[in-house]
Amino acid sequence: MRAAVTRWKHGRHGAGRIGAMTSARRRATRRKLFEAAVTLIAEQGFSATTVDEIAERAGVAKGTVYYNFASKNVLFEELLRHGVGLLTASLRRAADETAARGDSRVDALDAMIRSGLAFIVRYPSFTQLYVAELWRTNRTWQDTLMAVRQEAVAVVEKVLGEAVERGEVSGEIDVPLTASALFGMVLVAALDWQAFQPERSLDDVHETLSRLLQGRVGGSAAHRCAR
């Protein structure tokens, strides 16, 4: 009886390990498909990109694409979720690390700007694709795009709201609109940097945007206190 229980436990643990390995392989496959899709779609557009091309670029069989995603549309929708999810996580991590050091909320916003720039440097094709899709309103994934965008902006909005509560930023600002403006500023400035001024360093671009933040957002409360 004891031996049977031991075998059952070993079998259960073995099945768990196999399941974990299968899950890890599937995540790795999906990442390869995301990377292939985002590169191809950025190069030639969504309509012109075929599932065969995505499979070939990812180094997998066409059936593997359909095993993971029901269609090209579903693949692209999940790609948006994945990419913006990574951006949102990087912004949140920057804010949390700043809070752990005991720095101000304006410092957290500055750290989030740098984190956003670093994300765009790491994933330029996704960023180009994401910004392009924001201007299209006839896509089946439009609701998903707006939802994941709002999740990212909400991270900025939360920190900005805390800055207002602490008196670091003027209470007169429109927090939701300012958060959206900061988020958009980083995206557009980074794309301009990558396309037209690639010789500039990340530190240089971050310093420029940091001055804008400190002067237009962080500086208003400080100026009022000084008076």
Find the farthest-apart pair of alpha carbons in the chain and give their distance in angstroms, rounded.
83
130 CB-near residues (< 8 Å, 6+ apart): 80, 83, 84, 187
Spell out the domain ranges in the chain.
22-69, 72-214
Question: If DSSP codes are grouped into helix, strand and coil, which group holds residue 62?
Answer: helix
* Cβ-contact 110, 45 below 8 angstroms: no
Q: What is the pLDDT along the chain (227 residues), one digit of tens a residue?
A: 665 555 555 666 665 565 565 678 888 999 999 999 998 988 888 888 999 999 999 999 999 999 999 998 899 889 988 999 999 999 999 999 999 999 999 999 999 999 999 999 998 888 888 888 877 777 777 888 888 899 999 999 999 999 999 999 988 999 999 999 999 999 989 989 988 999 999 999 999 999 988 876 655 444 334 33
pTM equals 0.79
Superfamily (CATH) of domain 72-214: Tetracycline Repressor, domain 2 (1.10.357.10)
182 CB-near residues (< 8 Å, 6+ apart): 109, 113, 156, 160, 213, 217
The CATH class of the 22-69 domain is mainly alpha
